[in-house]
Chain A
């Protein structure tokens, strides 16, 4: 009461003196003054309440509200947390219907399935519920609807007039020894998006002396002319084996390898269809005992045969490298412009099963499936770096001097097999993901079922009635896998 009077006197420039003080003392108990003062206080309260109401609105407008991004074609829901603004009520959101979303003011939440990608400003129309006659205000917040990545991919044809042009897809079906082979190769979405070439390549051929070969290569995405590198690598590799004398020698060596092998020389408890890994096993330590001398000789003999086989394969691989070096020199391009991985399987049917000789550099696996998935084996060494996409190439001279070179070759014999599969990392990354899954029967079971049509597209590769098998495989290769859009090549001997 006294404060109000003093403030009032200040406001009216009434100087303080004895008379004024006396007047004040008298008025302190004046009923009319007291009533008026109460009114003033009450009016002030009303003003401050209105102020607070408006302030809450302004604060709400200024607060940074982060609303999670939506994704086109995917269900979206978001609830505004208004705990900080108990009296604010969002009435409606303008612009939201543009993307097919709705807003429920009761729950302050947005939901629905946005139908397209958009970056826009949402206009939140809100009121303060304490207001007698609420006035609407607008808060603007940015809102992002991401595109469905599937809609972002373009499919630009590659320029067939360019240097080393290559078809965007390729397919093949035919005989492979007494079995059949189907291969399909599809340009990856990442390449189709830019109109660049397929970098994968494959080559299949029957050879003299009843051998057959399939080679698959994956040109490096980072290399300018890797499409040509993979073509040369596969085609030239096959050419190096198209040599009757060489294959005759290889026949003899393989026969010798599998007939002269003493029982002890193959890995413990050898089962006929168990892979005898090429160059690593059977390397004996120094035997001291006289007793093992005879066996030692047999083992030495075996080792000699084995190294002769591997040397033949090694020479072919070396020739492929030399061919690439020569090509680069002739074309005045860098060798690394041709960077490509290479895997191959050189196979022959003999009296006691199939001899499968394999080699691999890079991150493309060769697998054999025995029977109804009784066994599955990875036949080659994979070069998978710590980082995505990191690998080694046939174009790298250093692989030839590296101690792991012999490990890249494998000599195997199987009584029979139901499938021999070569794939590029475009398949492996999407379907097997990590190296340890390449010998995991469950993963393989899923993979084989996937080929059999158990996938969202219902794409089936029919190995029984195989009239259209190469087209079916090419269609199957078009599967969707988040983050995996590399070229895909899959070769299956069945």
Chain B
């Protein structure tokens, strides 16, 4: 991803943060961690509360492999150490929400597939896969989650719409629900194609 699409992604993502900042519930409770994955996997922004979150700029190399599996592996480790589970002495975090955004397909497919059952066992509130642009392959994301959105284009309008929907999905994450149940996502706007 480069040129206009990456610019649009950055604008869209930072726009998402601005949108969330106006939501009092999110301001009180939301924490965000950003992992970027290409040839290298980085925890670009370690888990940060929304009030302290700084605008970020995501860079993408012009070519090379996409290490989605390694990113999931990093995520698993981070969840293990950062997520607070409730007990009689400690208040638990809300269920974490996972959004995987890619414009390609995993190059480390074996590792990717190895991580999937572990991710699924993590009890995320929701996992949303987003395949952005013409080269993004939906089938791999479908292995990870049923909730896959395809963006045909990666212009700034589409991305803004997408992130607005992400924002409303995040707001769903702080409501009481049955244990072990997953969230129902708000209906996506027409621009987004939900893959069944």
* Residues of A bordering B, CB below 8 Å: 66, 68-69, 71, 117, 119, 142, 144, 146-147, 149-150, 152-153, 189-190, 193, 218, 220-222, 336, 339, 363, 383-393, 396, 425, 429, 433-436, 482-483, 485-486
Contact = CB atoms under 8 A, between A and B. Distances in A.
Contact of A119 (B18, B94, B172): B18
A180 to B, nearest CB: 31
A486 B176 CA distance: 9
A435 B51 CA distance: 28
Contact of A392 (B24, B90, B179): B179
Given A66-B54, A425-B176, A149 B18 contact: no
B177 A69 contact: no
B144 interface: no
Residue of B87, B91, B174, B178 most packed against chain A (CB within 10 A): B178
Contact of B85 (A189, A220, A387, A429): A387
A68 B89 contact: no
Contacts of A434: 86-91
Contact of B178 (A66, A396, A433): A396
Given A220-B178, A388-B86, A391-B176, 13 more contacts: A69-B52, A117-B21, A142-B55, A149-B27, A190-B25, A221-B176, A222-B172, A222-B175, A388-B91, A388-B92, A388-B174, A389-B175, A392-B178
B24 A153 contact: yes
A385 B179 contact: yes
B111 interface: no
Contacts, number: 123
Interface of B: 18, 21-25, 27-29, 51-55, 85-95, 123, 125, 172, 174-181, 183-184
B69 to A, nearest CB: 26
Contacts of B178: 220, 336, 339, 390-393, 396
A388 B95 contact: yes
B86 A483 contact: no
A436 B89 contact: yes
12 contacts: A66-B54, A149-B24, A193-B24, A220-B177, A385-B92, A386-B123, A388-B174, A396-B178, A429-B91, A436-B89, A482-B28, A485-B25
Contacts of A339: 177-178
Contacts of B183: 222
B177 A221 contact: yes
A69 B94 contact: no
Given A69-B54, A221-B177, A388-B174, A485 B95 contact: no
B174 A385 contact: no
B176 A435 contact: no
Contacts of B22: 147, 152
Nearest to B175: A221
B27 A387 contact: no
Given A152-B24, A221-B176, A222-B175, A385 B29 contact: no
A117 B24 CA distance: 13
Contacts of B28: 149, 482-483, 485
A387 B123 contact: yes
A193 B125 CA distance: 22
B88 A387 contact: no
A394 to B, nearest CB: 11
B27 A388 contact: no
A70 B51 CA distance: 8
Q: Report the 8 A-B pairs with minimum CB-CB distance, sorted nearest first.
A: A221-B175, A152-B24, A388-B94, A385-B179, A389-B176, A222-B177, A483-B28, A390-B179
* Chain B CB within 10 A, most for which of A152, A189, A220, A429: A152
A19 B22 CA distance: 81
A412 to B, nearest CB: 21
B52 A68 contact: yes
A222 B18 contact: no
A176 B44 CA distance: 59
Contacts of B27: 146-147, 149, 152
Contact of A385 (B86, B88, B172): B86
B81 to A, nearest CB: 16
A341 to B, nearest CB: 8
A69 B24 contact: no
A222 B180 CA distance: 13
Interface centre among A193, A387, A434, A435 (most CB of B within 10 A): A387
A222 B85 contact: no
Residue in A68, A146, A222, A339 whose Cβ sees the most chain B Cβ within 10 Å: A222
A384 B184 contact: no
A388 B55 contact: no
B125 to A, nearest CB: 8
Nearest to B25: A190
- Scoring B18, B24, B94 by chain A CB atoms within 10 A of each residue's CB, the highest score goes to B24
A387 B184 CA distance: 17
Nearest to A189: B24
